[in-house]
Structure 1
Amino acid sequence: MKRFSLSMLLALHAFFAVHAGDIKGIVINNTGERVAFATVLLKGSNTGGSTDNRGQFNLHRVSPGKYTLAVSFVSYKTKEMAIEVSSSNETIVVDTIILEPNSQQLNEVIVVGNSSTYTTRNPSSSIRLNQPLLKIPQNVQVISSQIMADQQIVSMSDGIARNVSGVTKLEHWGDSYTRINMRGSRASAFREGMNVTSSWGPLTEDMSFVDRIEFIKGPVGFMMSNGEPNGIYNVVTKKPTGQTKGAASFTFGSYDLYRTTLDLDGKLDKSGRLLYRFNAMGQTTNSMRAYEFAKRYSIAPVISYQLDDNTKLTAEYNYQYMESSNIGSYYSFSPDGYASLPQDYSILEPGLPSTVVNDHTFILNLQHDFNKNWRLTAQGAYFNYNKEGSSIWPSSLAANGDLVRKVSIGDAINEMKFGQVYINGKAQTGLVSHNVLAGFDTGDKHAWYDWSADQSHNLDSIGTYNIYNTNYTGGKPRYGYPTFDRSKSLKERANLTQVTQSYIGLYLQDELGFFNDQLRLTLAGRYTYVKESSYGTTKTEDRHFSPRVALSYSLDKNTSIYTLYDQSFSPQMGTLRSGKKVSPITGNNWEIGLKRNWFDNRWTTTVAAYQILRNNETASDPTNKQGVETFLVQVGQSKVKGVEVDLIGEVIPNLSMTTNYAYTDYRVTKSVNEKSPVGTRLAGYAKHNFNIWLEYKFTQACLDGFSLSLGQNTQLDRSTWNWGNTANNTASLPDYFRFDGAIGWQKNKLKLAVNIYNLFDRYLYSGSPYETYYYWQSEPPRNFRLNITYNF
């Protein structure tokens, strides 16, 4: 009997799979503009969907019969029309559906998926909060892959910062790693929920295999392992979707940029239990600076297997390769102040050895659903970063511009291992609901470096190279090129230049819901044990408990307010001049905020105000001998306070926007060092930061398929990298204004886009005073990228 029933089911499935039709159409409003994300339903059936961003819909495999097609959208009258699907396998193209405005709001709107490709309803599972973003009592901003595609962002260090309030990118060693600052100081770098922050490595992520980037403001140590109290950014990679699809792209740009990517997504078996995702990228580029270049490629295969109805195993591997010119080439140096040299100035020589990086990541993730309310997640990862190269920095710089360039060995190995187990669950006790998170994580980081002083080489003698001698054409430097001794392995050479850290953590959170979850009280805590050593210091151990309390309230289904208090714990690497190890940073955060989703999540807004106290703050010892000493000084306590406003999404039909503003103030409040008295302004932020990105998609007549974008980034009252001391004006940076634009065209599966950066061709840079001179890194003048993408 069972066999007969199964045969009948298969036969019926086969019949309706063949004898079914598709229904296609376009939805516009009364002014002729296409309506994106309108709800489309066949009344009396389970078949439905929504229009895409060009107002088109396609209902697949509709069984034969007569239906009423209903189309609805906020502020418009529902439009209904009769549809009949015959028994033949056909595609029905309905007449253009015109929606008329309604003075009254629709009583009910059925939402299918997200309403904008810019907005996101839920965070990734890797940050472990099993809640929509609207209900999370913290400022969390998500940058989607669509935003990155529209802005042609190709790496983590390439324009991401503009999309989140108060986030800035400071100068760094090439594109080998990214330093992101927010709420006054460095944000911890995470990959899939694991803290990969380090002085060197992993290699900054290429966006070809990245799905989204999540910015979590404020302390998150209670669940995400020890991290800075100002927040983290979490890079989420692409995973299989179960759909068979693909995309290939080619990018050409200024300075001989050539880049190609491939994204394949599909099934490896007919049942759909074994899925894959494969991303690959190849890129080569030169620079506005002479002799500067970079070659990169990456592969990122992912396989997921549904072991049974409740258990899924995902295996992920990322490999990134980079070969580049000397990583110090981005810097300019002058005794006469910022921007006193040409924007394309270069200190490189054509014969200097290049830097090569090999970066490997393995991640294994297991998810098991005990039932619809409880899920267990276990994750293990191994990161391996290997760099062989050199850096360049002044050995001396005289007031007349005579520069002695010193090239030092710059090899590094960074190995990281992580293990995580956590459980998410929901329960009910009487009238109180519980959203529970509990977990355990462990990590081990070990880095080996060789930038020893005896492995350095002066290219020049005093007077043979001058920064103002514009007739200098390179060639062989006065003392020739360096040769480094790598006869021993790096791990053998890295005697006193090792950094190790291992930790374990236990955490528990319960979000109690009252009045049908309208009011939510969060109680959480984390216990962390960590031991570490750095640069030959004795191993130290620290233990810390970090509490967290939050209260959030839903004013309606689209609006919530919250208040939050939590703490963080972050061990610090480095030593004082006395030989003592620096104390770990402890911090606490007060935050209040308001979140709202507008028009069925077409656009969202967040307003937050915060104050963070950081204990045991450190800064670079200003008496360090350049290029030789790396001692720190203990500042004491600092306070950063500010206000953040974010708006993202489609504010009106066809107009998408990402805009934000942040006010930040960061100063010493308790001092244990005379070199940084109370009131001293600390480094690494802009007091006022405003960004906007607008994209308008045309849907009418001959302009149908075209898009136009404009964006700007403003940073006012910038403090410098080093101290940010306002005692004299020479330490501050000038205000920063950058404007970008883009034009695009899309037709079916083909998309073309041209992005122009630094439209007004300004001399843009960041930098700092350094002993008797200034250094800075300049951005390119006006430049462009042309991208062609084909989806299949």
Structure 2
Amino acid sequence: MALAAAGLLAVPALAQTATTRSSAEGDDAATEEILVYGRIARDTTLSIPQSVDVLDRSLIESSSSETVGDALRFVPGASRDGSVLDAFGDTYLIRGFQANQTVNGINANALRQARDTIAIERVEVLKGPASVLYGQLQPGAVVNVVTKQPQRDWAGAASLSYGRYQDWRGTIDLTGPLAADGDVRFRLTGAYDDADSFVDFWHRKHLFIAPTVAFDLGDATTVTIESLYTRNKLKGFVNGLPAEGTVLANPNGSLPRSLGLADPTFAPSIRENADVSARVEHRFSDRASWRTALSWTHEKTDEEGVFGLLGWEDDAKRNLMRAVLTSVSNGDTWTAHSDLALDFETGPIAHALVLGGDYTWFDRHNLSDVGLAASLDVYDPVYDLTARPATFPLPDFGSETDESTRTAGLFAQDRITLTEQIKFVAGVRWSHYRQRTESIQGTGSLNVNRQTQTAWTSQFGLLYTPVENVALFANRTTSFLPVQGVTADGSSLEPETGTQYELGAKASLLGGRLALNAALFHLKRGDVAVSDRDDPSALIAIGAQVARGFELSASARPIEGLSLYAGYAYTRAKTTEDTNTALVGKRIRNIPRHSLVLRSDYEIRNGALAGLTFGASATYTGDRSGDLEDSFELPGYWRADMQAAYALTDNIKLGASVENLTDERYYTHAFSQFEVWPGAPRTWRVSLTTRF
């Protein structure tokens, strides 16, 4: 409780339906326009009948968030399902199920690695299913990344930071006109990291660069060409530790969180993505606008991971058998999107109609092999420091796979203003999905699977505003996700579905200085597919999972320079139907029943200490199930972080931060009894930023 109090006293204000903003801004955050709900037709968080969190640039900077996943920890009810130690740092579960990323309100090609925040203006989190607007998705949430855009005036910033474990990071952000009138302009953002970790033999080199050019064709048309290249090279790729020795007792004692399962001579894992997109936006009039976009993403991976999934070698529970998975893949994704937004009236009723469609073309080739490495005594590990250890191949488990997917969708969404106090939203999407997978197993057998699936998804929402800046809302939204794979008899599975019912209230009071939000939700995921218990190479539909709960949040700017935020989520997520009746009623993996976020920033604006800022946060993540069977539990934990910065001049700022201030020993997530991820110990960082 002392930690919670410290978080409140020291602790950027984000609201579940109100933007996290710098306390220097006095305007109403609830009137900030967002993209995530309308793709092209923008709206505000206060005027849509669904819960939205908006994490703005001030939060990203003040909390030293380097990836989207770093920022998502400030969303109540969000729990990590990946780690920067394994390049899945953006993977999160929200309201019990996986969240999905989009970019600038458009379906995003998957990067399969954490997205750097240097190119991000804000992150919008639309909670619940959103397949009407975004197609084939998991039902947890849509995380929409809004990128920094080129500006007409010259501006720039650069930073250099150094942290514990030899962690060097440099960033740059430049923008300005390429033509005298600003009709052609550019933006260039980039970051480079070179870091060790608390895990033995782990090392990362991270490169990110994102050039953007925008040009106006007259007063009504803008063309934007965005691109990025990102590369992560990881040595000592982390795949978790055994539960016995971390969260469960082991007769040999506790395992150090620094334990790495891979010898330093194993090959590094490399992930690369290149992405280029062209977007055209045209305004026919104040009431009609159109946008179309085409993007291409190339992915390349060359990975070697060491797993302890095979378990203990004997009952002594100290020698861990190690599997070595190598994988090389290349893939290309093309996506096309088009949206038309129209505002019109039918008598006294006003409409904001969005019509659109999208098409995705995806091909990937993957070659994987599985082998065995010598077992590792995890209590007295001996590593090969001179040459890669010999491995024994398991050809029956290797494969070469070609995957080809084509997805098409058409949608319509109408936001209807019945009266000044009552608004109604209705939307529908038709989705068509085709996939062909050709796989040659290590035994030489050829498996060819084709499947075609079609689905309709819908959304309905009602918003009632009894008084100005106070809204009550209700919604029903659905999702659709094709299942990639077949059953043991070779037949296709029905697509997974998601349905959410939500009731809530939100208010923006005192001229936007106080925001209050509450939501009650019931979310069901149906036709859930997992590995067949009798044939792990095949899939089986186990039934259904349900998450229900409520969320509360409040943000305030009580005095000049001070922002406060508190958010709480209660989520009860469990399996309600399963082919294995013993699992009915079991908790869904990695979903805490209780989660709490406390944060604040304070900026001194006058006097001798003007230019000094403080920030702090305290987050609580409750007990969670560690695997599908709910056979063990990850304990709850508090984490406290603090930041401070001082403006040496108008253009130079010195900063410092400490994460996990109390050096809490905690575990972020797990997949099985041999895949438990430890959290980082106390970590510090100092930085120098210049703006020009």
TM-score (norm 2): 0.88
Residue in structure 1 matched with residue 554 of structure 2 by the alignment: 647
Equivalent-residue separation in structure 1 for 2:511 and 2:206 (angstroms): 41
Q: Which has the larger radius of gyration?
A: 1
Equivalent-residue separation in structure 2 for 1:523 and 1:652 (angstroms): 40
Residue in structure 2 matched with residue 777 of structure 1 by the alignment: 677
C-alpha contact 1:635 1:668 (8 A) present in aligned 2: no
Give the letter for the 1:417 counterpart.
Answer: W
SS in 2 for 1:134: helix
Whether 1:333 aligns to 2:235 is: no
2:450 to 530, 539, 548: 539
**Structure 1 position 527, deviation (Å):** 1.0
Residues 622, 212 of structure 1: CA spacing in aligned structure 2 closer, same or farther, 3 A cutoff? farther
Whether 1:594 aligns to 2:509 is: no
Equivalent-residue separation in structure 1 for 2:433 and 2:502 (angstroms): 27
Q: Structure 2: 5+ residue runs without aligned partners? A: 1-20, 249-253, 440-446
**Structure 1 position 478, deviation (Å):** 9.4
**Structure 1 position 120, deviation (Å):** 7.0
Whether 1:285 aligns to 2:199 is: no
**Structure 1 position 656, deviation (Å):** 1.6
Residue in structure 2 matched with residue 139 of structure 1 by the alignment: 51
Equivalent-residue separation in structure 2 for 1:590 and 1:651 (angstroms): 34
1:568 to 479, 498, 502: 479
SS in 2 for 1:222: helix
C-alpha contact 1:682 1:719 (8 A) present in aligned 2: yes
**Structure 1 position 393, deviation (Å):** 1.1
Residue in structure 1 matched with residue 17 of structure 2 by the alignment: none
**Structure 1 position 473, deviation (Å):** 5.5
**Structure 1 position 417, deviation (Å):** 1.4
SS in 1 for 2:449: coil
Residues 260, 478 of structure 1: CA spacing in aligned structure 2 closer, same or farther, 3 A cutoff? closer
Residues 349, 530 of structure 1: CA spacing in aligned structure 2 closer, same or farther, 3 A cutoff? same
Residue in structure 1 matched with residue 628 of structure 2 by the alignment: 723
Residue in structure 1 matched with residue 493 of structure 2 by the alignment: 582
**Structure 1 position 547, deviation (Å):** 2.2
Residues 114, 411 of structure 1: CA spacing in aligned structure 2 closer, same or farther, 3 A cutoff? farther
Give the letter for the 2:454 counterpart.
Answer: R
Residues 145, 354 of structure 1: CA spacing in aligned structure 2 closer, same or farther, 3 A cutoff? same
Alpha-carbon displacement from aligned partner over 1:588-608 (angstroms, at most 9, x marks no partner): 211111122233334533211
Whether 1:687 aligns to 2:593 is: yes
C-alpha contact 2:176 2:187 (8 A) present in aligned 1: yes
1:264 to 174, 178, 181: 174
Residues 483, 114 of structure 1: CA spacing in aligned structure 2 closer, same or farther, 3 A cutoff? farther
Residues 785, 776 of structure 1: CA spacing in aligned structure 2 closer, same or farther, 3 A cutoff? same
Residues 606, 352 of structure 1: CA spacing in aligned structure 2 closer, same or farther, 3 A cutoff? same
Equivalent-residue separation in structure 1 for 2:544 and 2:22 (angstroms): 50
Residue in structure 2 matched with residue 505 of structure 1 by the alignment: 409
**Structure 1 position 153, deviation (Å):** 0.8
Whether 1:405 aligns to 2:322 is: yes
Residues 602, 301 of structure 1: CA spacing in aligned structure 2 closer, same or farther, 3 A cutoff? farther
Give the letter for the 2:266 counterpart.
Answer: L
1:742 to 631, 643, 646: 643
C-alpha contact 1:519 1:554 (8 A) present in aligned 2: yes
SS in 2 for 1:685: coil
**Structure 1 position 750, deviation (Å):** 1.9
Give the letter for the 1:745 counterpart.
Answer: Y
**Structure 1 position 344, deviation (Å):** 1.1
RMSD: 2.7
Equivalent-residue separation in structure 2 for 1:614 and 1:259 (angstroms): 40
Equivalent-residue separation in structure 2 for 1:268 and 1:724 (angstroms): 58
Equivalent-residue separation in structure 2 for 1:336 and 1:286 (angstroms): 24
Q: Which has the higher contact order (CA 8 A, sep 6+)?
A: 2
Q: Structure 1: 5+ residue runs without aligned partners? A: 1-51, 56-112, 486-492
C-alpha contact 1:195 1:227 (8 A) present in aligned 2: no
Give the letter for the 1:736 counterpart.
Answer: Y
Residue in structure 2 matched with residue 15 of structure 1 by the alignment: none
Residues 445, 120 of structure 1: CA spacing in aligned structure 2 closer, same or farther, 3 A cutoff? farther
C-alpha contact 1:738 1:758 (8 A) present in aligned 2: yes
Give the letter for the 1:266 counterpart.
Answer: G
C-alpha contact 1:330 1:778 (8 A) present in aligned 2: no
**Structure 1 position 474, deviation (Å):** 4.4
Aligned residues: 652
C-alpha contact 1:512 1:520 (8 A) present in aligned 2: yes
**Structure 1 position 241, deviation (Å):** 2.6
Equivalent-residue separation in structure 2 for 1:323 and 1:383 (angstroms): 19
**Structure 1 position 574, deviation (Å):** 3.0
Residue in structure 2 matched with residue 191 of structure 1 by the alignment: 103
Equivalent-residue separation in structure 2 for 1:578 and 1:120 (angstroms): 54
Over 6 Å off, 4+ runs: 52-55, 481-485
Residue in structure 1 matched with residue 9 of structure 2 by the alignment: none
Whether 1:150 aligns to 2:62 is: yes
Alpha-carbon displacement from aligned partner over 1:400-454 (angstroms, at most 9, x marks no partner): 211232322122223221111111121122211111111111112333322233x
C-alpha contact 2:589 2:671 (8 A) present in aligned 1: no
Pairs within 5 Å for 1:47-196: 115=27, 121-124=32-35, 127-157=39-69, 159-172=70-83, 174-177=85-88, 178-196=90-108
C-alpha contact 1:175 1:204 (8 A) present in aligned 2: no
C-alpha contact 2:84 2:114 (8 A) present in aligned 1: no
SS in 2 for 1:547: strand
2:541 to 606, 629, 634: 634
C-alpha contact 1:335 1:397 (8 A) present in aligned 2: no
Residues 168, 537 of structure 1: CA spacing in aligned structure 2 closer, same or farther, 3 A cutoff? farther
Whether 1:373 aligns to 2:282 is: no
C-alpha contact 2:236 2:264 (8 A) present in aligned 1: no
Give the letter for the 1:189 counterpart.
Answer: Q
Residues 607, 630 of structure 1: CA spacing in aligned structure 2 closer, same or farther, 3 A cutoff? farther
**Structure 1 position 349, deviation (Å):** 1.5
Residue in structure 2 matched with residue 226 of structure 1 by the alignment: 136
**Structure 1 position 197, deviation (Å):** 7.1
C-alpha contact 1:196 1:202 (8 A) present in aligned 2: no
Residues 360, 286 of structure 1: CA spacing in aligned structure 2 closer, same or farther, 3 A cutoff? same
**Structure 1 position 211, deviation (Å):** 1.5
**Structure 1 position 635, deviation (Å):** 1.9
Give the letter for the 2:322 counterpart.
Answer: R
Mean Cα deviation higher: 700-709 or 425-434: 700-709
Equivalent-residue separation in structure 2 for 1:630 and 1:644 (angstroms): 39
2:634 to 710, 733, 736: 733
C-alpha contact 2:590 2:670 (8 A) present in aligned 1: no
